[in-house]
Chains A and B, each alone.
Chain A
Amino acid sequence: MQDTLLEMRSITKTFPGVKALDDVSLKVRTGEIHAICGENGAGKSTLMKVLSGVYPAGSYDGEIHYDGQLAQFRNISDSEAKGIIIIHQELALVPLLSIAENLFLGNENAKGGVIDWRETNQRTEGLLRKVGLRDAPTTLVDKLGVGKQQLVEIAKALAKDVRLLILDEPTAALSESDSQALLDLMLELKAQGMTQIIISHKLNEVRRVADTVTVIRDGQSVSSFDAAEGITEDRIVRDMVGRSMENRYPSRNVTTGEMLMRVADWSVYHPEHDDRQVIRNVGFDVRAGEVVGIAGLMGSGRTELAMSIFGRSWGQNISGTVEMHGTPVDVSDVPRAINTGLAYVTEDRKGLGLILDDTITRNITLSNLPEVATGAVLSQHRETQVAEKYRRDLGIRTPGVFQKVVNLSGGNQQKVVLSKWLFAGPEVLILDEPTRGIDVGAKYEIYGLINDLAAAGKGVVMISSEMPELLGMCDRIYVMNEGAFVGEMPAAEASQERIMSLIVNE
């Protein structure tokens, strides 16, 4: 058929302790739309970073052949000079500059440092027409919706003579109609001969636009098939999740007790865009001794749900009720939420969970200082005792509890965050991605801790992007997609295929 534009052969990329990519191959033909599918953390983004030169030639094994030549990109400018352009999930536009200014940022139409605005605006108009936008080139990007901003990003790529356009989750933040417009544009660009790679979780979209699909799992390319062989969602899902389940989760005797917490009709709006409803009428409950999972893709609203419940720490115009032990409680700010027996272990350990420049001791006692004080005066002795207790109980590996947490490994930092919340004495803990970014050994320890908590009669709500983790740890799983719960099932009846199909069939 067509000749090959890009071939990545046996790419292997290791980080200290982790093999992010293991012998991955990818072959993209000229003029096709090639979809890359895989779970979060499977290695898709790493592969694209290798391709674009973020990880320079020499820092990985394997070869990249582009346009018939061996390519060795040292940085992003190298790959962009060859026409490889990535549009990331997080848009990289400057909000307070105009569309025209953004399109030619770093690539200005200038003579001797003076910008030629007439040419800039003319060229912008031409590019905007290509992507189907009719806004004036002088419009500030800030004034555009996310969907239009995405199109501006594509126009920006076109301004750079792109030959291989890579779209990373382009529709993740878009509404249904904006998504359709974007997919139409992709097909139109293809008709003009543009080669494109799309990374997406939305398999219906993949099926619609892709000519070839490559599935990546656990850092390996597991399959590649084209439209002639038949692209079906079933096949993609099977390849995406088909890993073998080892005994990676400690076992636990489940004895669930009384109803601890029940959330009903929970709705939340975006803190900046008050017309955007992020959480839609969500309801769930947790019993004593139960581990409840919330499955869903990144961006499905899980963190927003948890943070809005925990003292309205996210969003606005929040409505719904929270009951503890059957009576409605006030969780309108964080101290009240803590008082009702809630704890929230954030997914953003460094940004929201810890005071990095402070000691382990001071981090652990922070959410319950009165417990280590007489009146208003802190007792250093009692603080130290508390810190030492959690260091022993949770196995925080450190030379001493007066070490700064910034010096600890990810797993030990996570144990410090957990210690802080255990010391606050909660009944229900919401754990948001509790094992993100920590190594396998530490993960197993965290799982053990979660089981201990459940055995001690606490209720645990576990949010995770890793489905095997949810299946291995939880008693019951809620499935979340686009701000709403789309399913609930006992873990015994759950499977990755079932959860995935609930998400993609939305």
Chain B
Amino acid sequence: MSASDTTTTTKGVGSYLKAHLREYGLLFALIAIMAFFQIVTGGTLLKPINLTNLLLQNSYIVIMALGMLIVIVAGHIDLSVGSVMGFIGALAAVMVVNWDVSIGMTMLTCIVVGGIIGGAQGYWVAYWNIPSFIVTLAGMLVFRGLSLWLLEGQSVGPFPREFQVIATGFVPDILPGSDAFKGLFGTRNFNVLAFACGIIAAAWVVWSGLRQRAQNKAYGIEDEPSSFFYGRTAIIALALVFILYKLATFRGLPNVLLTMGVLTIVYAFITERTILGRRIYALGGNEKAAKLSGIKTERLTFLAFVNMGILAAIAGLVFAARLNTATPKAGFALELDVIAAVFIGGASMSGGVGKIVGAVVGAFLMGVLNNGMSIMGIGIDYQQMIKGLVLLAAVIFDVYNKKKG
């Protein structure tokens, strides 16, 4: 073997950037947009209360984007998630408020029903080869109608306090030393748990990044240039510490942030590190080749929709708890925001491409746009147009990048 065969070619920083422009571009765009709104809103964007709001407002989009990413990577689409989310919220309201069912039982039932709804749609897509666009378009209408029927056209609420906590509650500060930090930072509140979480998360990002890098080097896997690695890791770690510090000075860790964070980590792990995840990418990349390689493509498609239903149900619970009422219009057109988040996050319409982290960042990018423009007092008309153009720009960027190869 010649030397060039055994050593992986070390490319320049430029060519690496070119190959991964999309991923860095997304991170850079989020930072740039946040900086822009931070300046034009006179610092309102990153105020602790607004930051907390931003997380709460977008939590259900993020949760559904996790499932939507998997559906889209598998080569399909789900247009029904907004309606399903609304329907589950309605179901929860009727069960808790009208029928006095316990909250635990309600949540369990809602999640199971979500899974069944996903399965009922996935069945036709997976085993009958009916285009998912059609099946879920039908689902969108059916569940919108079912919500109306279930709520008898009325709003149902309010929920008991214990149910609202799902969306609006905060994790209690179990760590000591709050007063000391208050003095140190000169703030009225300080939630030590939230701050500690920020430090731990940042440390974990740095540690796992370094470990992965050491492993890659040991196995001879091509890696990003060190300047990029350190820059990126530093930005993410500092951002984590900064955001959690801000939250700590307000009311601490929102419950939904915890839910969202745990789900994101679990799904990122499943998609990137497990056999199941790999098979989903293979299915979306070339269904026929995947099938001939012994992958049960039908079952996998079915499961992707079941999973989507479950996540839509969780989002429905969060959404209902946040609004403290279930309305027949809940979740209207939300599927479009979720799908937009996934495509802005770099997923490909034809399947096989896309990352969980990308979808989450995409969702927050849209969220920051919404939030920032609202603070600026930009009308909903302009907001819609701008969001539409951002989606188009992101996808054009993808296609252009791919063409240039």
Contact = CB atoms under 8 A, between A and B. Distances in A.
Interface string A329-369: 00001110110000010100001111111100010001101
Interface stretch (A55-63, A182-190, A375-383, A496-504): A375-383
B160 interface: no
A344 B220 CA distance: 31
A358 B221 contact: no
A353 B289 contact: yes
A355 B8 contact: no
Contacts of B222: 400, 402
B291 A376 contact: no
B8 A353 contact: no
A378 B279 CA distance: 11
A378 B285 contact: no
Interface in B256-298: 273-276, 278-279, 281-282, 285-286, 288-296
Contacts of B316: none
B174 interface: no
Contact of B276 (A344, A376, A384, A392): A376
Interface residues of B, number: 32
Interface string A33-45: 0000000000000
Contact of A367 (B218, B285, B288, B294): B294
B185 interface: no
Contact of A402 (B221, B273, B276, B279): B221
Nearest to B348: A357
A357 B353 CA distance: 9
Contacts of B99: none
B221 A334 contact: no
Contact of A344 (B4, B215, B292, B352): B292
A425 to B, nearest CB: 12
B278 A378 contact: yes
Given A334-B294, A392-B1, A380 B286 contact: no
Contacts of A380: 215, 219, 221
Interface in A366-405: 366-367, 369-370, 373, 376-378, 380-381, 384-385, 388, 392, 397, 399-400, 402
A447 to B, nearest CB: 22
Interface residues of A, number: 39
A384 B218 CA distance: 11
Residue from B274, B275, B288, B290 whose CB has the most chain A CB atoms within 10 Å: B275
A384 B285 contact: no
Contacts of B295: 334, 366
A384 B219 contact: yes
Contacts of B293: 334, 366-367, 420
Contact of B289 (A335, A352, A370, A378): A352
Given A377-B274, A381-B219, A392-B1, A354 B294 contact: no
A376 B215 contact: no
B290 A355 contact: yes
B129 interface: no
B9 interface: yes
A355 B286 contact: yes
Given A353-B289, A357-B285, A358-B282, A381 B274 contact: no
Contacts of A355: 282, 285-286, 289-290, 352
A121 B191 CA distance: 83
A180 interface: no
A369 B293 CA distance: 10
A505 B292 CA distance: 35
A66 interface: no
Which of B9, B221, B222, B293 has the most chain A CB atoms closer than 10 A to its own CB? B293
A77 interface: no
Contacts of A377: 273-275
B274 A358 contact: no
B294 A358 contact: no
B260 to A, nearest CB: 23
A369 B275 contact: yes
A310 B292 contact: yes
A356 B402 CA distance: 14
A370 B274 CA distance: 10
Contacts of B289: 351-355
A313 interface: yes
Contacts of A344: 292
Interface string B292-327: 111110000000000000000000000000000000
Interface string B212-232: 000100111110000000000
B291 A313 contact: yes
Contact of B288 (A351, A362, A402): A351
Contacts of A420: 293
Contacts of B282: 355, 358, 362, 366
A400 B10 CA distance: 11
Nearest to A356: B286
B8 A399 contact: yes
11 contacts: A311-B292, A334-B291, A354-B286, A354-B289, A366-B278, A366-B295, A369-B279, A378-B275, A380-B219, A384-B221, A402-B222
Given A355-B352, A378-B274, 18 more contacts: A313-B292, A334-B292, A335-B294, A351-B286, A352-B288, A354-B289, A355-B282, A355-B285, A355-B286, A356-B285, A357-B285, A357-B352, A358-B285, A366-B278, A369-B279, A373-B275, A400-B220, A424-B294
Interface of A: 310-311, 313, 333-335, 337-338, 344, 346, 351-358, 362, 366-367, 369-370, 373, 376-378, 380-381, 384-385, 388, 392, 397, 399-400, 402, 420, 424
